[in-house]
Amino acid sequence: MIKATTYHPLSVEDAIEVARNLKGFFTPGSELRCEEIGDGNLNLVFRIQALHANGDLNKSIIIKQALPYAKVVGESWPLTIDRARIESEALLLQGKSVPELVPQVYLFDADMAMTVMEDLSDHVIMRQGLIAGTKYPLFAEHISEFLAQTLFSTSDLGMNQQDKKRQVEKFINPELCKITEDLIFDDPYTNSSNNNIDSAILDEHAALCSNQSLQFEVMLLRQKFLSQSQALLHGDLHTGSIFITPASTKVIDPEFAYYGPMGFDIGAVIGNLLLNAAGQQYWIQDVTKREQYRDYLLTTIRDIWNLFEMKFRTLWNQHGVDRLSTAHGYQDHYLLEVLRDTAGYAGCKMIRRIVGLAHVADIDTIPDTSSKEQAQRTALSIGKALVTSNRSIHSIDELIDAANQAFKGVHAS
């Protein structure tokens, strides 16, 4: 294993040395191949593979190392490498609840801010699969299980409240929370230098900056994000943080993990499915097939919420630790608030992915400028509707109706 008195970014040669010293994994003397595969903004990611004598790929691992700055900006945006510890501990906690839905962690080295984990190269990044129009029949079942189990088990409903307070201490994540607070709840509604806005939709951004009723709702959602330690969140649960096959789902990259409102995680999943639905304006040219795929995405959203709610209620009824939480009507009230938060945060996620710093490939890689603009305006229409109506929503169907209204508007135009 690498021994270093000070942290330094790993080289390919360093990563191979780590792999060779991983106990009980690679056969001694194996030929190892390493490549740097990270395409994110914050980390180095290496895949190390062993080769058979005939050249076929054999065992493999992933090594992820936190960088002390944001790659997307450079060293002028410093970041703590302690986020690697947070990510590793979050993965281990999630692994206790849903081991089949997260990668296995083999090793964490705090000095090097490095996690060695299961390679998921037999899966695809979900965002890529959705852009290609792939359907994942088990996704709603899997992600609702992940959300219900991880959110309930880390909440005051599912664990001793004093133990939870001690756990909150371990997941104070101020620097990455600051990124979220700025990029999602501030920059999109101001003339921030962080924003990345296509000239064709500058009018949309001007409207966001002047819409006081929308900003009021954003501030209420921001206040909850800042102050409500409801459960341990993944913190960045978009379709780029999910590896998937038709039969398997793996949630990765919880380096933004912290204690916050449950609806933030659920809303992130839903918002990203809606962003893909908007992007299908280009990716599926046939109108009938496009509408069918959007229906599939909206049905998936409905199933995610309904399955989450059912599973969460079951966990609450069977394993709830707070005796007074059985008071008549409290469970209904609690979950309605989570649904409303889900809608609001889904909307915020959609808006920031159109006018904020980091976009999504579902829309940003559309090569036809007219189709891209239409997809952007559709996504903003849905996002604004969800934010402004979040506190009055009573069912998941109302969230889906808001999306359908935007899609009908596109079809009519």
pLDDT digits (tens, 9 = 90+) for 293-310: 999 999 999 999 999 999
- Asked if pLDDT for residue 253 goes beyond 80, the answer is yes
List C-alpha distances in Å: 344 to 130, 263, 313, 375, 388: 23, 8, 22, 20, 8
Secondary structure tally for the chain: helices H, strands E:
14, 12
* Residue 302 resides in a domain: yes
* Residue 7 resides in a domain: no
Does residue 150 contact residue 100 with C-beta atoms inside 8 Å?
no
Query: What is the chain's length?
Result: 413
Question: How many of the other CB atoms lie within 10 Å of CB of 400?
Answer: 18
Q: Closest by alpha carbon to 252, among 27, 9, 12, 40?
A: 40
pTM of the predicted protein model? 0.95
Same domain, 239 and 100: no
Last residue of a domain, one of 118, 141, 157: 118
* Residue 4 resides in a domain: no
How high does pLDDT run on average in the chain?
Answer: 94
Tokens of 10: 């790993």
Q: Average of pLDDT values for 119-143?
A: 98
Q: Average of pLDDT values for 36-57?
A: 79
Does residue 48 contact residue 34 with C-beta atoms inside 8 Å?
yes
Q: Closest by alpha carbon to 264, among 337, 190, 191?
A: 337
Q: Average of pLDDT values for 358-376?
A: 98
**Diameter over CA atoms, the chain:** 66
The percent of residues above 90 in pLDDT, for the chain, comes to: 89
Binned at pLDDT 50, 70 and 90, residue 30 comes out as confident
* Residue 18 resides in a domain: yes
Domain with 257 in it: 124-412
Binned at pLDDT 50, 70 and 90, residue 84 comes out as very high
Q: Average of pLDDT values for 327-340?
A: 98
* Residue 367 resides in a domain: yes
Q: Average of pLDDT values for 104-126?
A: 97
- What's the pLDDT at 72? 61
Tokens of 283: 């990716």
Q: Average of pLDDT values for 349-353?
A: 98
Cα(282)–Cα(296) distance, integer angstroms = 17
Stronger pLDDT, 4 or 398, i.e. the higher one: 398
Same domain, 42 and 110: yes
Cα(112)–Cα(45) distance, integer angstroms = 13
Same domain, 291 and 317: yes
- What's the pLDDT at 56? 52
- What's the pLDDT at 40? 64
pLDDT digits (tens, 9 = 90+) for 208-229: 999 999 999 999 999 999 999 9
Side-chain half-sphere CA neighbours of 207 within 13 A:
9
Q: Average of pLDDT values for 64-68?
A: 94
Binned at pLDDT 50, 70 and 90, residue 319 comes out as very high
* Residue 2 resides in a domain: no
Same domain, 282 and 305: yes
- Asked if pLDDT for residue 1 goes beyond 80, the answer is no
Fill in the DSSP letter of residue 200: G
Same domain, 78 and 155: no
Binned at pLDDT 50, 70 and 90, residue 3 comes out as low
Same domain, 191 and 112: no
Domains contained in the chain, number: 2
Binned at pLDDT 50, 70 and 90, residue 51 comes out as confident
Does residue 187 contact residue 222 with C-beta atoms inside 8 Å?
no
Same domain, 129 and 164: yes
- What's the pLDDT at 108? 97
Same domain, 45 and 149: no
- Asked if pLDDT for residue 263 goes beyond 90, the answer is yes
Cα(380)–Cα(402) distance, integer angstroms = 12
Q: Average of pLDDT values for 220-249?
A: 98
- What's the pLDDT at 271? 98
pLDDT digits (tens, 9 = 90+) for 90-113: 999 999 999 999 999 999 999 999
Residues in CB range of 379: below 8 A, 6 or more apart: 274, 275, 278, 279, 350, 351, 353, 354, 363
- What's the pLDDT at 400? 97
